[in-house]
Structure formats: structure tokens, C-alpha cells
């Protein structure tokens, strides 16, 4: 089954349950201040998903969480912290005061994980998509469901090594578009792509200092535009698809052909997938937002019941048993149809 189709089916199942609830008091969706609550009926647990900032990726993650909640009979509320770490803490405290059994937290700031755990009190807490800066805080009532960010950058680097080795080129000048500094996944994606290029026999050379575009498409376009006519480079590496597409648009705006060099991203967003089909993006890396959301609800239920956090899934854990790994997958023109 195609990856996008699977996500759509899970989201549709959740939507169908929501619509059915319009005529029933046992399956009702209500809107509360600052968030939404989807009640799935039954005597299941109550959980709250707190997102750092609702976007395309986290909306897909939410759909996966809602699908798992539907399957398990969990009442799942969602909140948007609007990139405010203090709001995340407030939402956790509100969930605790409301008697929730667990919270699922997409961290605004990876350094605040301990504060989140303290705010959760006796509730179970699962960090989803973004791993705490200090993973030693995990254990007991705290776990994480994430993807190995070194793997995502590694896939980018492997692709670039194959591309340039096929051309017989060893010295490769690159421009890197970075996300938010200080975030673990920014650091790991940036370092692992360069290491994979070296492991693949290349000599990666900075064509310019890294551009910190905060994972934002418009910022990436604005920041890279002045370099395009003045800097010699062989490829553009972006920490996510949004910034990669900003680079594509910057090149097109200056009459340059983005297919002339490999531009690589991460996330396999809808726009990213279309860009690969169009040939303007060389490759991306599929981050399974749907799987992360689904796995987070499963992990929370397992914590409550005292089971291994990956019980009932095909995902592996780290050596501590406190982190569930949802794998990345490379997406290229050869397999892009599987991700539409």
C-alpha cells in the first residue's frame, strides 16, 4: 500500500468516526478553548496531544494519533502551543488537572523535557517527533517515539555520494540550509549528511556558511538568493523539504535551472513529493509522521498498562527500552510513486 494512501485512510477513518459522532452522544467531537477533543466512546483512557506548532507534518502526526485513539477507545484531545514552551507546560498542567491518563508532547524546546515531566506529575508522558535533549530523563512514566535523525541525514549523504561518484567527482561544494539551532534534530541532520558524504568517498566543502532558515520556506528563499549569483556550488542540502523548496524557488526566480544540481530535503511533504516528480528536488527522506502519532498513543497505553512501549507495533526500541524508533525511508524518482 502506498505510504500516502495509508495515511489518508487512517485520517479518513478518524474523520468518519467524527462525522458519525454528530448524531450520537457516545462518539462526539467538541471544540474547546485552544484545542479539540475527539471522544471515541468506551471506557478507554484519556490523553492530550500537545503540538509545538500545527503544520502539514504535525497535522499528519495528529491523524495517526487519532487513528490509534479510535482503535484503542482512547479519548484524545489536541492542543497547539504555537511555538511557546511555556504554553506546553500550561497544557500539560491542564491535562493533569483534568484527570488525563497521559500526555503526548511534541517539544518546542528539547531542553525543557524535565520540566514537562515534572508538570505531568503522575501522568504518563510520551515525547513524540522531537527527542529530549537529555535522554536520561526518560524512564519510569516517560518515553519517546521518534525517528533517528542521523538516519535521515545519512540517506541524504548516501544519495549525494552515489550521485557525484557516478560523475567521477570527489570535491563537492555545498550550501546547507539549517533549521532551528539548538534542536537535536537540526544538529544531527546537519552532521550526519556530511559524515555520510565522507563515508561515501566524497570531500564535502562548504561553499558558504550554513544558512539558518528556521525550517521556513520563505526564509530559505530570501537567505539563499544573494548567494546564487556569487557563489560556486555543486548541491544544496536542506534540513527539511520546506527549505529545499525555498531554494528551488530562489533559483527559478533568478532564471536558474534547479534540475542542474541535486537539491535534497527531508520529510517527504506533499509539495516535496511533487517536486521530485517534477524533477526540481533530487530526493527527500520520508519521515513517518502518521507512524509517529500512532506509535505515541500506543506507547502511552503501554506505559499505563505496564507493557513494553513498542508492544503491539512493528517498531524497535533503543537499548534502554525508553525510545521507540520509527524508521526514515529515502524517496527518489525511482520510488516516489510509493509515497504519493
Query: In the chain, helix, strand, coil percent, each to 5?
Result: 45, 20, 35
Q: Return the pLDDT at 13.
A: 39
pLDDT tens for each residue of 10-38: 444 333 333 333 332 222 322 233 444 44
Q: Would you place residue 8 in the very low, low, confident or very high pLDDT band (cuts 50, 70, 90)?
A: very low
pLDDT above 90 covers a percentage of the chain that reads: 82
Decide if pLDDT at 158 tops 50. Answer: yes
Q: Return the pLDDT at 37.
A: 44
Q: Would you place residue 197 in the very low, low, confident or very high pLDDT band (cuts 50, 70, 90)?
A: very high
Q: Which three cell numbers stand for residue 282?
A: 533530487
Phi and psi, residue 116, nearest 5°: -65, -45
Phi and psi, residue 89, nearest 5°: -60, -45
**Which residues have C-beta within 8 Å of that of residue 33, sequence separation ≥ 6?**
none
Q: Which domains does the chain have, with CATH numbers?
A: 12-147+288-327 (3.40.50.2300), 149-286 (3.40.50.2300)
Q: Would you place residue 5 in the very low, low, confident or very high pLDDT band (cuts 50, 70, 90)?
A: very low
The pLDDT of 333-340, averaged and rounded, is 95
pLDDT tens for each residue of 112-128: 999 999 999 999 999 99
Q: Would you place residue 57 in the very low, low, confident or very high pLDDT band (cuts 50, 70, 90)?
A: confident
Give the Cα separation of 273 and 281 in Å (integer): 8
Decide if pLDDT at 291 tops 50. Answer: yes
pLDDT above 70 covers a percentage of the chain that reads: 87
Q: Return the pLDDT at 17.
A: 35
* Displacement of CA 281 from its chain's centroid (Å): 19
Give the Cα separation of 232 and 171 in Å (integer): 12
Task: Identify which has the larger pLDDT, 9 or 97.
Answer: 97
Decide if pLDDT at 182 tops 90. Answer: no
Q: Return the pLDDT at 3.
A: 55
Q: Which of 57, 8, 12 is nearest to 284 (CA)?
A: 57
The pLDDT of 296-312, averaged and rounded, is 97
pTM, full prediction? 0.78
pLDDT tens for each residue of 238-283: 999 999 999 999 999 999 999 999 999 999 988 999 999 999 999 9
Q: List residues bridging with 174 in a β-sheet.
A: 206, 235
Give the Cα separation of 331 and 301 in Å (integer): 32
Mean pLDDT, the chain, as a whole number? Answer: 89
- The DSSP secondary structure of 7-42, one letter per residue, reads HHHHHHHHHHHHHHGGG-SSS-EEEETTEEEE---T
Give the Cα separation of 176 and 229 in Å (integer): 16
The pLDDT of 84-101, averaged and rounded, is 98
Helix or strand or coil: residue 79?
strand
Q: List residues bridging with 172 in a β-sheet.
A: 204
Gyration radius of the chain's alpha carbons: 21
The pLDDT of 318-331, averaged and rounded, is 97
Amino acid at each position: 500500500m502506498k505510504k500516502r494512501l495509508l495515511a489518508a485512510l487512517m485520517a479518513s477513518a478518524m474523520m468518519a468516526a467524527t462525522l458519525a459522532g454528530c448524531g450520537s452522544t457516545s462518539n462526539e467531537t467538541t471544540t474547546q478553548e485552544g484545542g479539540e477533543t475527539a471522544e471515541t466512546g468506551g471506557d478507554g483512557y484519556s490523553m492530550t496531544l500537545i503540538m509545538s506548532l500545527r503544520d502539514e507534518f504535525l497535522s499528519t502526526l495528529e491523524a495517526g494519533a487519532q487513528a490509534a485513539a479510535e482503535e484503542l477507545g482512547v479519548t484524545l484531545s489536541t492542543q497547539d502551543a504555537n511555538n511557546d514552551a511555556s504554553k506546553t507546560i500550561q497544557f500539560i498542567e491542564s491535562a493533569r488537572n483534568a484527570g488525563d491518563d497521559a500526555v503526548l508532547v511534541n517539544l518546542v524546546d528539547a531542553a525543557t523535557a524535565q520540566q514537562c515531566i515534572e508538570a505531568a506529575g503522575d501522568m504518563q508522558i510520551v515525547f513524540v517527533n522531537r527527542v529530549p535533549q537529555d535522554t536520561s530523563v526518560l524512564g519510569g512514566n516517560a518515553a519517546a517515539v521518534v525517528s533517528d535523525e542521523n538516519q535521515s541525514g545519512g540517506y541524504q549523504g548516501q544519495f549525494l555520494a552515489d550521485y557525484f561518484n557516478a560523475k567521477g567527482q570527489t570535491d563537492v561544494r555545498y550550501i546547507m540550509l539549517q533549521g532551528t539551532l539548538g534542536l537535536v534534530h537540526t544538529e544531527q541532520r546537519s552532521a550526519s549528511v556530511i559524515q555520510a558524504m565522507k563515508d561515501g568517498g566524497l570531500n564535502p566543502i562548504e561553499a558558504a556558511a550554513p544558512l539558518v532558515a528556521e525550517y521556513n520556506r520563505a526564509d530559505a528563499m530570501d537567505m539563499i538568493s544573494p548567494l546564487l549569483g556569487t557563489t560556486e556550488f555543486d548541491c544544496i542540502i536542506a534540513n527539511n523539504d520546506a527549505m529545499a523548496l525555498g531554494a528551488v524557488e530562489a533559483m527559478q526566480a533568478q532564471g536558474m535551472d534547479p534540475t542542474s544540481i541535486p537539491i535534497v530535503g527531508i520529510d517527504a511533504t506533499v509539495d516535496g513529493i511533487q517536486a521530485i516528480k517534477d524533477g526540481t528536488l533530487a530526493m527527500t527522506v520520508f519521515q513517518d509522521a502518521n507512524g509517529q502519532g500512532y506509535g505515541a498513543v500506543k506507547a502511552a497505553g503501554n506505559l499505563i498498562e505496564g507493557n513494553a512501549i513498542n508492544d503491539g507495533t512493528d517498531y524497535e526500541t533503543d537499548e534502554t527500552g525508553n525510545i521507540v524508533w520509527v524508521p526514515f525511508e529515502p524517496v527518489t524518482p525511482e520510488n516516489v510513486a510509493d509515497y504519493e
